[in-house]
Amino acid sequence: MNVASQRAGWSRLPLRAAAFVVLTCATILGVSGWREWAARDQVLRGAETEMANVARSLTQHAEDSFDLLDYGVVGVVSRLEIDGTDPDTIAKLRNLLEARKTAMDRVHSLAVIDDQGNSLTSPGTIGSTFSDDAFFRYHQLSPKREAHVGRPVKSAIDGEWVVTLSRRFNKPDGSFGGVVLAAISSKYLSHFYEQFEIGRNSSVTLMYGDGIIIARNPGNDKFVGRSVADTQLFRDASLQRPFGAYHFKSPLDGAERVSFFKRSGRYPLVLLATVDKDELLAPWRAAAISRMLYVLALVMLIAVIGAVLVRQLQRGQRMAAALVEKEAHFRLLAEGSSDMVTRIGLDEKLRYVSPSSSRVVGWRANQLIGTPALAGIHEEDRPHVQAVVDAMKRGDTEEARLTYRNVHRTNSEVWLESTMRVTRKDNGKVDGLVAISRDITEQKKLETRLETLAIEDSLTGLANRRRFDERLNEEWARAYRDRSSLALLMIDVDHFKSYNDEYGHPAGDACLRVVAQVIAAEMKRPGDLAARYGGEEFAMLLPNTDAAGCARIGERIRRAIREAGLVHGANLGAGYVTASVGGATCRPALERTAGIGTLVEAADQALYAAKEAGRDRLMMSVEVARLLPRAVGE
């Protein structure tokens, strides 16, 4: 991305921030509004469920009430058809009906009516006959024997609104004999509905199947007998189902209502339970207003913060432009350098990598940016580098130079020398590091080679005399500290001068290399050291080894040299190259008078004794000590 495109992006940044703030505010308002509307729907659904329960319960009550009336009516019809309508029977029935009316408060009246419409159980109390009433004409014209529920009418006895249930009874010859009539008072039903507290402005209405109101609470006296047949409940085809919920504006009081209706399956009755929609939603409305005020306050706060942010972004554009210019100069210098230049953030991730990274570590710059800066450092070197980086991040160190091993994509591992420097913000706070790294692998190889030459014999590859002396001092001090034993073997190739004279110096060198390989093969532990002591003489240092162990190793070496099968004509006794071995052990902590020179001298004397004894053998210093008295006695 060039400077011009970066500037164009920055110039649009405040606009994008403003758009983001507006979108955030709109989203918060939208989500809050949606949640409030969902809460409103939940309130309405809960009200519908409550109204459904009320409607089902009260419909069941109405059916049970008519069933109770019908049981009494059926009994009277049976009695009349068996005993007839003579005065004695009617007198008995009159007493029975009065007793039932007194026992059941829901029964408004019970009557037996003859085939002319005259009341047999209440003669003289009613000024007219029932011959013109709808229920009487229905039974007179219809031979059906089932119960008939009539529309609500005013009682001829006291003018109260009632609902009638009647059955026809026949004469012995099967002709129409009259009607047994029972009635329920509208006031009873209305009073019963008062027990259900479903809302201050709620209502329960029981209607006849054609829309005439039978009973209502509240306002029963005002609305009973009125027809609502022209309302949606009776005209809308979609509502002509057994039950359901719907919302409507009441034609009785003009209130918006949430309702549930239930049609009786056995009688021409419809029960409607409603609650005032405004009253129902009042608690939700108050809570929603309160919540939305909080949301509006939050949105205003976000808007204010957004405005401040936009102004800050606009102010920062000038600083950003200057920073881009500065970074462009930095990149120009970094990308023209053969060294790898990296910028490391406080999170220790690479923020910038120069193109020379592909040459230094084998990875392209875009593959490294964003990765941990110390990830490729060798695990043994990483703690030291980490400690230096931590100190620079704290501001304890301004600049540091480090040498460490790093992973290379193709060459497995390279040595890098990095110069690191702290970078700071305008306020002086540390904001990262800049590291300039160069590949010093070849230099390290040369240094390693020089170090190796300083401690290694070039002909045999074993340690040289200098390295041997250093290790002998180190192992002596360790054995003294650990109160352990230290063993030394001195090995000398027998008649080697004669071998050189007969076969030449190149063959002599080859012979020494074979002997060195045999000795090196016995270095089984990290502390063991095989060295070329000088000429054809070798030494082997064996830490923590007693005399018996030293003798076993020395004997294996002697036998392996002989079994190597190097022909040596001047070695008359064997005909092959052989070696004499002298060994010595010491416990520095216990032998206070002994020293390093004492151990070397003892092994050298044992070697001399092995040569004097005929060569191609091992002699230990303890054996030499036992032989000395004998030699003196002789």
pLDDT in tens, 140-180: 888 888 888 888 888 877 778 888 888 888 888 888 888 88
Domain match, 443 and 520 both: no
Residues 361, 378 contacting (CB under 8 angstroms): no
Together in a domain, 351 and 310: no
User: Who's near 189: CB < 8 A, 6+ residues apart?
Assistant: 62, 65, 206, 214, 215
Q: Are the C-beta atoms of residues 588 and 486 closer than 8 Å to each other?
A: yes
In terms of domains, do 195 and 138 share one? yes
Confidence of residue 244 (pLDDT cuts 50, 70, 90): confident
Asked whether the predicted pLDDT for residue 512 surpasses 90, the reply is yes
CA-angle at 304, arms to 301 and 310, nearest 5°: 140
CATH number, domain at 497? 3.30.70.270
Whether 8 and 146 share a structural domain: yes
H or E segment at 476? Answer: helix 465-482
Q: Considering 403, 422, 447, which residue would you say is the last residue of a domain?
A: 447
Residue ending a domain, among 291, 312, 329, is 329
**Are 477 and 565 found together in one domain?**
yes
Tell me, what's the pLDDT at 378? 84
The domain that holds 110 is classified in CATH as 3.30.450.20
Q: Any idea what DSSP says for residue 151?
A: P
Give the structural domain span for 551. Answer: 456-633
**pLDDT value of position 3:** 47
Q: Which of 283, 312, 329 is the last residue of a domain?
A: 329
pLDDT, average across residues 615-627:
76
What is the SS3 string spanning 318-366? HHHHHHHHHHHHHHHHHHCCCCEEEEECCCCEEEEECCCHHHHCCCCHH
Question: Residue 593: its pLDDT value, please?
Answer: 65
**What rounded mean pLDDT belongs to the chain?**
83
Are 279 and 384 in a shared domain? no
User: Average pLDDT in the 33-62 region?
Assistant: 84
pLDDT tens per residue, range 331-387? 655 565 678 888 888 888 888 888 888 888 888 888 888 889 888 888 888 899 899
The total number of structural domains in the chain stands at: 3
Average of pLDDT values for 455-470? 90
Q: How far apart are CA 46 and CA 63, in angstroms?
A: 26
